[in-house]
Copies of this chain bind each other. A is one copy, B any other.
């Protein structure tokens, strides 16, 4: 069963077709698994083999095309009728002489969808250059356009049902962060803490379980805090070191991420000073995140505080967040950074993350929020500070 009511998917498809008309597309081939899920409900760990959802102006329902063995998964999790879920033969998987998109192109041609203008997502994880070439060769009568982010932009504003699911994810994020703080002690192996965090993320609450987040829990410690994306090791946590925790709760593939930092011992003055700037700057950014503000204005609110506090940060301070699959919970649309003039709308959801990484230390504090009339409304209720354990 799909996670939302069929009417929710139908509305998403209607808006997708609206944008297709505006872009002059007859057919849209969606290979991003988050977009496939968004349009049909299909949810499985099958994106390691090529697959797609096809939306055609000429047809009411999309097609969901997956590897043959995954067709039953499509029937069970999407709202689509059985004749709109197709499985390609297994011999196309990881073969040197053929590609699943050869089969998909031939199928689209048979359906009369091989003409006109076809949009493909040309900058997503699970649609390769060879997939694009296979479609172009198999459909020589069609013209192709890059339709990357067409569906992602529709995802930017969340419905009430989506916001409810993200609130559930927030409950899981809070519990998981509390578990992490309780577990980290000098002498405890990093992997043992990661295991406890993961278990908390997936157990969820008594009322609802957790889905797998699109990132593994990140818990860089000591000099590891100088960079954000290293994963855990077997080494123990040490006294008088900082640890950064970045993790999410996930529910029906919707994420609520949270970053916090922890110090075992007495934090050095440099970290404390940066913490103060980060907290003030984060609050300034959250206050600025009102409908009508641009992404770069939100970032500027942080930047003003940071400049006053002598803190520099080259990288963006946030991004759209919500529905996604590994390896990213971001939605790849707007970023909170100079030059991004996207205008915020009510019920857009973002992750504002102040990550400061120096040569041998770092700190991160973040909030996942929805855009509301008076500024950002964070999903989580969790103390916003550098945690200290002595």
Which positions in A face B, CB cutoff 8 Å? 43-48, 68-73, 76-77, 89-91, 93-96, 99, 120, 122-133, 146, 148-149, 189-192, 194-196, 198-204, 208-212, 215-216, 218, 223-224, 226-234, 314-316, 319, 325-328, 330, 332, 335, 337, 339, 355, 357, 359
Q: Assembly of this chain: how many copies?
A: 2
Complex formed: what's the CA distance from A69 to B362 in Å? 11
Q: In the complex where A209-B192, A327-B45 touch, is A122 in contact with B129 (Cβ < 8 A)?
A: yes
| A316 and B190 form a contact (CB under 8 A) | no
Residue among B45, B129, B355 making CB contact with A129, cutoff 8 Å: B129
- Shortest CB distance A316–B (Å): 6
Given contacts A76-B224, A192-B203, contact A44 B230 (CB under 8 A): yes
In angstroms, Cα B130 to Cα A72, docked, is: 32
**Contacting pair A212 B231 (CB below 8 A):** yes
Chain B residues near A327 (CB, 8 Å)?
Answer: 45, 47-48, 126, 325-326
Contacts of A359 in B (CB 8 A): 72
CB atoms of A191 and B218 under 8 A apart:
no
Whether the Cβ atoms of B335 and A46 lie closer than 8 Å is no
Contact (A48, B328) CB under 8 Å given A209-B234, A231-B211, A339-B91: yes
Q: Which residues of B lie under 8 Å from residue A202 when comparing CB positions?
A: 191, 194-195, 198, 232
List residues of chain B with CB within 8 A of the CB of A332: 94
For the complex of A and B, list the 3 residue pairs with the smallest distance between their C-beta atoms, beginning with the closest: A191-B209, A72-B227, A90-B315
Q: Would you give 13 A-B contacts (Cβ < 8 Å), ordered by A?
A: A44-B230, A45-B231, A68-B314, A69-B227, A70-B228, A94-B319, A95-B335, A123-B128, A123-B130, A129-B132, A190-B209, A204-B234, A211-B231
Name which residue of chain B comes closest to A144, CB basis.
Answer: B129
**A227 to chain B: closest CB distance in Å?**
4
A327 to B232, CA, bound (A): 19
In the bound complex, do residue A229 and residue B44 qualify as a contact, i.e. CB atoms below 8 Å apart? yes
Say whether A69 contacts B355, CB under 8 Å: yes
Q: Could you say which of A43, A46, A148, A198 has the most chain B C-beta atoms within 10 Å of its C-beta?
A: A198
| Inter-chain contact A72/B314, CB cutoff 8 Å | no
Q: Which of B48, B70, B330 lies in contact with A94, CB distance below 8 A?
A: B330
A330 to B91: give the CA distance in the assembly, Å.
Answer: 16
